[in-house]
């Protein structure tokens, strides 16, 4: 079965500091796509960053970067210079397109609070 | 680009009633997805359309659930004979055709269902 595990239900960080959210996944496929989505309180889910498994280089998007360890099936998200607007639920997700599937498998999420 | 629109945003119904949710995707997106999110969980895949064809259905989608996408534009998700366990946020998302930014889902704000 394809699963995503986010072991940190809640985290907090001080404004301007750095925080890392962890994610591990399980799949037997060799090629897949990994994502971090952000869901602010009472607002819609938006894409933070994505990584293609065949690419060695870790993806970065401004203050957001990932540490992709394919052998360990680990995909952590680092948020630098945290801002109050980063307060949200963060979901790790992946898709393999196995058998033509378009299903995105999500973890249970990590609730991040940025404190002033 | 007005984003993915979902209506109604909130629906309260009595057990046994039927409810219908509507999703209007981004106009140039030919792929449309429905997910369900319960409290404290990540979104769970329900079904996927490419244009008007429903190409994938989750086992979560019981016989009481039906989704349509006539003419490949908007989609409806109907739940018949609602049960209290159907209470959840129903999320719609859309994406571009494969090869041009596919895999990147744009989510709507969701339709929250409460079954009394």
Longest Cα–Cα distance in chain B = 44
B-chain CB neighbours of A47 within 8 Å are 104-106
Contacting B with CB below 8 Å, chain A residues are 4, 33, 35, 37, 43-47, 50, 91, 93, 95, 100-109
- Average per-residue pLDDT for chain B: 92
pLDDT band, residue B104 (cuts 50/70/90): confident
Looking at the partner chain, which of B4, B105, B106 has a beta carbon nearest the beta carbon of A104? B105
Per-position b or e across A44-78, b if 16+ CB within 10 A of its CB: bbebbbbbebeeeeebeeeebbbebeeeebebbbb
Pairing of β B10-13 and β B106-107: unpaired
Q: Is 70 exceeded by the pLDDT of residue B83? A: yes
pLDDT band, residue B100 (cuts 50/70/90): low
pLDDT at B25: 96
Instruction: Please answer yes or no on whether A44 and B110 come within 8 Å at the CB atom.
Output: yes
Length of chain B equals 116
Instruction: Please answer yes or no on whether B91 and A45 come within 8 Å at the CB atom.
Output: yes
Q: Is 80 exceeded by the pLDDT of residue B103? A: no
Cα-atom radius of gyration of chain A, to the nearest Å? Answer: 14
* Residue position matching structure tokens 């079904």: B47
B-chain CB neighbours of A33 within 8 Å are 103
Q: What's the mean pLDDT in B30-37?
A: 95
Say if CB B79 and CB B64 are below 8 A apart: yes
Q: What's the mean pLDDT in B56-84?
A: 93
Range from A100-104, B13-17, B69-73 that averages highest in pLDDT:
B13-17
Closest CA to B57 of A46, A100, A5, A93: A100
Residues of chain A with pLDDT under 70: none
Q: Is 60 exceeded by the pLDDT of residue B1? A: no
Q: Is 70 exceeded by the pLDDT of residue B22? A: yes
Phi-psi region of B64 (alpha: psi -120 to 50; beta: other; left: phi over 0): alpha
pLDDT at B97: 77
Looking at the partner chain, which of B33, B42, B106 has a beta carbon nearest the beta carbon of A91? B42
Q: Does any CB of chain A come closer than 8 Å to the CB of residue B41?
A: yes
A18 CA to chain B: closest CA distance, Å? 24
Q: Is 60 exceeded by the pLDDT of residue B101? A: no
Other CB atoms within a 10 A radius of the CB of residue A93 amount to 24
């Amino acid at each position: 079965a394809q699963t995503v595990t986010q072991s940190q239900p809640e985290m907090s960080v001080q404004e301007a500091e750095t925080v890392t959210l962890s994610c591990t996944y399980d799949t037997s496929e060799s090629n897949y796509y990994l994502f971090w989505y952000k869901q602010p309180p009472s607002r819609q889910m938006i894409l933070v960053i994505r990584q293609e498994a065949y690419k060695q280089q870790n993806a970065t998007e401004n203050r957001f970067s990932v540490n992709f360890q394919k052998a360990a099936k680990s995909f952590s998200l680092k948020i630098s210079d945290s801002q109050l607007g980063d307060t949200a639920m963060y979901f790790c997700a992946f898709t393999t397109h196995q058998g033509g599937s378009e299903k995105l498998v999500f973890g249970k999420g990590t609730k991040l609070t940025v404190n002033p | 680009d007005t984003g993915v629109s979902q209506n109604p945003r909130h629906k309260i119904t009595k057990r046994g009633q039927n409810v219908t949710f509507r999703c209007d995707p981004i106009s140039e997106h030919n792929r449309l997805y429905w997910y369900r999110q319960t409290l404290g969980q990540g979104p769970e895949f329900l079904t996927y359309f490419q244009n008007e064809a429903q190409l994938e259905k989750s086992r979560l989608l019981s016989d009481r659930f039906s989704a349509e996408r006539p003419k490949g534009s908007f989609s409806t998700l109907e739940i018949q004979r609602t049960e209290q366990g159907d209470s959840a946020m129903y999320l719609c998302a859309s994406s571009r055709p494969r090869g041009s930014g596919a895999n990147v889902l744009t989510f709507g704000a969701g339709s929250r269902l409460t079954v009394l």
